[in-house]
Chains A and B, each alone.
Chain A
């Protein structure tokens, strides 16, 4: 599968080539899909540590005396209540309440916020933040090209990082961030991730990307997007373009908790989201485990015992940890959990509805 010639190379492109990665065009970036076996990469993250290039993600800075107020207006979360050094999972919604992107916002200083956007939505998020911050004393700057993002994830991540940093990691809680030196370069060290494991995301300047990667390359398993997807799916984490879209409300996605309707002041989408909060969602997001070996995939119909379509799969893959195919799907309102199947290319494959996540670290 040849990549688009226009696709952007991350600062780690040559490193991926050197590791014989299979590269794919993902949201306009040439990214490693896998280095060798994606299942081995997945297991390495669950049992030891994996190393990820996430430099395709967008880093957008919102700064100034009005930065917190601007984000309170622009996003569904209560960012002015976020303590310096902490992070929050939140969303950018449209006026009709549809999700334009899910984000992690880090408060680096009283008047400095780092908004991390999905690669595919970086331009949308940058434009929306700029427009929505216009009435506030705040500046919005997309600095994605100046940054590389390297993630170190897995039960061994903390030990590997502690060996090469002066930062006091014991004091760095989940969803917190601090500055520190990592392997001799300046980094923002965040205890966040998308794998269901303990781990870190390291924001470094683009020119330091190779140095920070090489610090861990022989101690953690380089892990591509294929395993990143199966890891997040096992952890029950939504992915934009799958569980979340502009046609999805946060409430349908079981993410109503991130919509802070009671925060002071107005915010974009508030009226629509308040109305959605007051009425039960028409559909609900569930986890499915297949009884057979054929995997439900995005877009496949969920059907009742008599074959009537009653929902749609948003993500699905064989789960290395469970040893069976798993999926997330939206079920229509009123559909019972029992007796469901997924239409896998014309043949119903029985599935069981299970509570999310599929995997929780012990």
Chain B
């Protein structure tokens, strides 16, 4: 299962892109491993809208597949600057392209998040999963 090197990961299977960027805005999605385990995603509910704040480790929505439902947790703290309306309309995009078109929201982070995993650590986590 694909675990891109340049991303950081939460233990709840979200990925974070852009931590090294100048803008302080990061992109969040769910990993290929999580999308695959869930099965085909049919419904994504995201509670925060643009301008709302999210807290690292707090539930911010739910991801529903044909067989199951999982909470969506924000891996970072900050202000939501964008929500991917396309995946809310058609959540299966997350299965098809979890690290690209399947991004879920963007956050202007307040601080550097402390406890995210790098690709090696996340790969190890999902092997043990």
Q: Is the CB of B45 within 8 A of A226?
A: no
A34 vs chain B, min Cβ distance (A): 6
Q: Is A37 an interface residue (CB 8 A)?
A: yes
Q: Is the CB of B39 within 8 A of A294?
A: no
B125 vs chain A, min Cβ distance (A): 14
CA distance A293 to B66 in the complex (A): 11
CA distance A38 to B40 in the complex (A): 7
**Given contacts A293-B42, A293-B43, A318-B43, A39 and B37 within 8 Å (CB-CB):** no
Q: Is the CB of A345 within 8 A of B69?
A: yes
B43 surroundings in chain A (CB, below 8 A): 293-295, 318
Contact of A318 among B36, B37, B66 (CB under 8 A): B66
Q: Is A317 an interface residue (CB 8 A)?
A: yes
Interface string of B92-113 (1 = CB under 8 A from A): 0001000000000000000000
Taking CB as reference atom, which chain B residue is nearest A229?
B67
Taking CB as reference atom, which chain A residue is nearest B42?
A318
Q: Is A1 an interface residue (CB 8 A)?
A: yes
Q: Is A165 an interface residue (CB 8 A)?
A: no
B11 surroundings in chain A (CB, below 8 A): none
A33 surroundings in chain B (CB, below 8 A): 39, 67
CA distance A39 to B42 in the complex (A): 10
Q: Is the CB of B37 within 8 A of A226?
A: no
Given A38-B39, A39-B42, A226-B66, 9 other A-B residues pairs in contact with their CB atoms under 8 A: A1-B37, A33-B67, A38-B66, A38-B67, A226-B39, A293-B64, A294-B64, A317-B66, A318-B66
Q: Is A63 an interface residue (CB 8 A)?
A: no
Q: Is the CB of B42 within 8 A of A34?
A: no
28 A-B pairs in the complex with CB atoms less than 8 angstroms apart: A1-B129, A2-B129, A22-B36, A37-B40, A37-B95, A38-B39, A38-B40, A39-B40, A39-B42, A39-B66, A226-B66, A226-B67, A229-B67, A230-B66, A293-B43, A293-B64, A294-B43, A294-B45, A295-B43, A295-B64, A295-B69, A297-B69, A317-B66, A317-B67, A318-B43, A318-B66, A345-B62, A345-B69
Taking CB as reference atom, which chain B residue is nearest A2?
B129
A320 vs chain B, min Cβ distance (A): 8
CA distance A39 to B40 in the complex (A): 7
CA distance A38 to B69 in the complex (A): 16
A37 surroundings in chain B (CB, below 8 A): 40, 95
B36 surroundings in chain A (CB, below 8 A): 22
Lowest 8 CB-CB distances: which A-B pairs, in order?
A318-B42, A293-B43, A39-B40, A37-B40, A38-B66, A226-B67, A318-B66, A38-B40
What is the size, in residues, of chain B's interface with A at 8 Å between Cβ atoms?
Answer: 14
A38 surroundings in chain B (CB, below 8 A): 39-40, 66-67
Chain B stretch 35-81: residues in CB contact (< 8 A) with chain A: 36-37, 39-40, 42-43, 45, 62, 64, 66-67, 69
B39 surroundings in chain A (CB, below 8 A): 33-34, 38, 226
A294 surroundings in chain B (CB, below 8 A): 43, 45, 64
CA distance A2 to B42 in the complex (A): 24
Chain A stretch 86-142: residues in CB contact (< 8 A) with chain B: none
CA distance A345 to B40 in the complex (A): 20
Most buried by B among A33, A37, A345: A37
B40 surroundings in chain A (CB, below 8 A): 37-39
CA distance A37 to B95 in the complex (A): 9
Taking CB as reference atom, which chain B residue is nearest A40?
B40
CA distance A34 to B64 in the complex (A): 17
Chain A stretch 31-53: residues in CB contact (< 8 A) with chain B: 33-34, 37-39
Taking CB as reference atom, which chain A residue is nearest B37?
A1
B39 vs chain A, min Cβ distance (A): 6
